[in-house]
A and B are shown apart, each in its own frame.
Chain A
Amino acid sequence: MEKFLSALIEGMSFGGVYALVAVGLVLAYKTSGVFNIAFGAQAFVSGAIYYQLHNRSEWPIIPAFLLAVVVAAPLVGAALDRMLFRHLRTAPPLSRLVVALGLLVAIPEVVGLFFKVTQATQYKGIVPGGEIVYRPLSGVAITRDDLSIILSAALVAIGLTILFRYTSLGLRMRAVVESPRLTELNGIRSDIVGTTAWMLSSFVAGLAGVLLPTVFQQVSVINYTTLLTAAIAAAVLASLTSIPIAFAGGIGLGILQQFVSRYLPTGNVFASNVKPSLPFIVLFVVLLFKRSLSYEQGLKDPLAGVDPPPPVPASAVRSRELTIGTRIFGFVVGTWWFYSVLFLWNDIWLDRTIRILIYAIIFCSIVVITGMAGQISFAQATFAGMGAFFSAQIATKQGVSVIAAIFIASAVAAVVGALIGLIALRRRGIFLALATYAFALFFDNTMVRYDWVGGGIFAIESQRPVVGPVDFARPVPGSTTRDTAFLVLVLVVLTLVGIAIIWMRNGTTGRFLDALRGSETAAASIGINATKARIIAFAVSAFIAGLGGGLLASYKIQFSSLDYKAELGLFWVVIVVTLGPRTVEGAIQAAAGFVLFQEWVLPTAIPWLYNHALPFADITAISIGWQQIFFGLGAVTYAKHPEGILESNKTASLTRVQGLIDRFKSRRDSEIETASV
């Protein structure tokens, strides 16, 4: 009984944290239509400010709290609304999710520019003497900090329930989410209501931000994002609409977690793996079995037609001459690059080129699932990881040739991908994306620990392939041979994948997916099987990701699960979405950006440019965090340019060049005409 009670009480204090974040997520979704995956990042902003003021500068609690939570947090929300989300009120929910994802990547790094995350320990909470322990019953202990969390969560939940039940502001917020223009027709200023909604949800994020670190004793962005998953499970349980259910779900999840950790037998691999991944399992199960999630939440705005139509892709504006011109240009640049890598540049560039090509293969999988099928999958890194882990296992333990092993492993990934597509069949948009996220985290936290997947405590190694007489072995350091054979191998694979994608896009499946992206109902009415098309897209995408992942492992030989972490998968989506998710070309650009930005642009190119443009300035390197900031903010443009910003700039410049060509041609035509007259 004592054990039971203490598990209950301790579960409640953990659950209070989950509940607070879950309530915040529901609030954000209800009042702004954004599934704010950046909620944890926003919370981190306030946590960092509070730590800086209270712990480091020794401000008293009240002014530090007021500045961090009551002033700074709503300001952040208002700024986000004014700069971003205000322009996205009529954008589809998935675009808004991508923008939030960009923020999730960028915000912590922006905070990191001002706030030294290292050694942000010994966190002091918002109640004095937070470490004081109460013992209401024997064997049951609860600290003052824990009580402050539970109480705050309950107060927020009650306050918001009242707001939505009994005030006109709550009603107006919900109306703005459905259609800002219809709301304006009722004489209500939708921009002010929308900004208020963002300020309110950011305030809750800020409150969560200063409360959570007491649980971990330190301020670190990882804690915020880990908590987010559990909170997502509770928020989804509430169908993203009911605040009381989100609160109860959060508390319940905390209690469940305590019970699992206390009552499951210790020493068992399954039991010790299940505990950390409980939130992901719960999220996955809820997504599977909750029937009311079958419908995409939020209807299309009846006045969406007032917005100007979306821009056309670059390929649509160019004429035949220009298409041929761009292709020749691309071919020349490609040839020049490979010539230089082979004969002029050193091994570092050879290595970079190989990795760019491998990541381009992986990113092609995002082109299939996001660019063609219009779905967001957060599990691409996991599929790549499956390709890596399984191919290494098969090759090392069964002695199968590496190339065959990679194909077998990719096929396994494809089957799993198809299963997720099948399971998540009735879940669309946001909920499908969340299901892939839950799966990715589950794989990361549980599956990778098994001997037959990630090797358990022993790291596993992959091998270089040998095909007939050609040995792709890594050259011995100091020898004159280079890794060129592997370069050719990945180039061939990428070419095949590229051809397959173009073939698929122009074939029936591609057309079906286009139709489904446009309107699922209309597509179904002309006999398109949405299920089949989507499962094919998932399977093909997972297969390609597995290929790339397997090749990466084979190239690196020694690899680790860090190369395929779920968080990395989020970043990959961000980078591909920024640089062009619709085309194979876009995937290559994204891969080049991913590899070169961190290794060359930030540490070498920018300082060089800077120092040569401004001779008095002297910078040697720029923090790596700028990569996250750069691409995170790039993804933020997704809603405005669903074709990617690079692609949209390309369209603009192509239109200009096309204009020049047309003018030249018309002048020539008129000259010919005058000549013939």
Chain B
Amino acid sequence: MTPLLELINVDARYGPFRALFDVSLSIQPGAVMALLGPNGSGKTTLARVASGLVRPSAGTVRFDGTDFSGSETYEFARTGIFHAVEGRSIFATLSVDENLELALGRGRSRTEVSEAKDVAYALFPRLAERRNQIAGTLSGGEQRMLSLARVLAEQPRLLIADELSLGLAPIIVDSVYETLAHIRDAGTTLLIVEQHVGHALAIADEAVVLAKGSVKYAGAAEGAAAYSTI
């Protein structure tokens, strides 16, 4: 079976700083992969390569068998990859409604957009209450809700979730992971970047552990726990 996402011998750098060294990984459709590792190990860079934000300086990125190595970020997005970036992943100057409209508006008619928005609001009634509020004034948990709401409404083929639990209260983290489980059940493949190993391994089938920009472990999620102290 063709892997959904495949990285082959990928190197990545920011100016003079090299962040990834010869990294390879592949995710099967429908799988949930946890990407683990300490601070500065290259997790976020790997997520950015997978969504086209950072172009690899060497190596190949394939999505569903097609080569995407030199493609622009929007081309990644249009094939069905959604990347919830670390920290703020919504537009802080736009309202909640405008954020959803921007995310769901492409390729849909006006009525389809409002239907998709209704789906999102039905899933997160809290967002419906704040539909006209500027998104930057939402709480951290609500901002995460907003970026997941669009994922639920659209069902991308691959969701890359970078540090979704960062800065959230434990009870909110639990609900975020419940939502991720819903998204998986609906057929979306997941790549979860996480520092908190326990949560991520509980949902993941496979795991990749990075350290200093190289792959230290790749395989079943159960086997990764031994590396979690890296």
Contact = CB atoms under 8 A, between A and B. Distances in A.
B14 A187 contact: no
B74 A302 contact: no
Select the residue from A171, A182, A183, A190 with max chain B CB neighbours within 10 A.
A182
A643 to B, nearest CB: 15
Interface residues of A, number: 26
A185 B92 contact: no
A175 B102 CA distance: 8
Given A174-B93, A190-B74, A185 B106 contact: no
21 contacts: A171-B94, A171-B101, A175-B102, A177-B93, A178-B93, A181-B53, A184-B53, A185-B73, A185-B77, A185-B83, A187-B78, A188-B106, A189-B74, A190-B74, A299-B92, A302-B85, A302-B88, A306-B48, A307-B14, A309-B14, A309-B15
Contact of B106 (A181, A182, A186, A307): A186
A185 B54 CA distance: 12
Contact size class for B?
Answer: 20 to 34
Interface in A285-306: 298-299, 302-303, 306
Contact of B91 (A182, A190, A307): A182
A308 B55 CA distance: 12
Nearest to A309: B15
B85 A184 contact: no
B73 A175 contact: no
Contacts of B82: 185
Contacts of B88: 302
Interface string A158-181: 000000000010011011011101
Contacts of A168: 101-102, 105
Select the residue from A177, A181, A187, A298 with max chain B CB neighbours within 10 A.
A187
Contacts of B51: 185
Interface in B47-80: 48, 51-54, 72-74, 77-78
A239 to B, nearest CB: 12
Interface string A307-321: 111000000000000
B81 to A, nearest CB: 9
A298 B54 CA distance: 24
B103 interface: yes
A566 B88 CA distance: 41
B70 to A, nearest CB: 15
A168 B94 CA distance: 13
A168 B82 CA distance: 20
Given A185-B82, A187-B78, A306-B14, 12 more contacts: A171-B105, A178-B92, A178-B93, A178-B94, A182-B89, A184-B52, A184-B73, A187-B106, A188-B77, A306-B48, A306-B53, A309-B17
Contacts of B103: 186
B98 interface: yes
Interface in B10-69: 14-17, 48, 51-54
Given A306-B54, A308-B15, A309-B17, A187 B93 contact: no
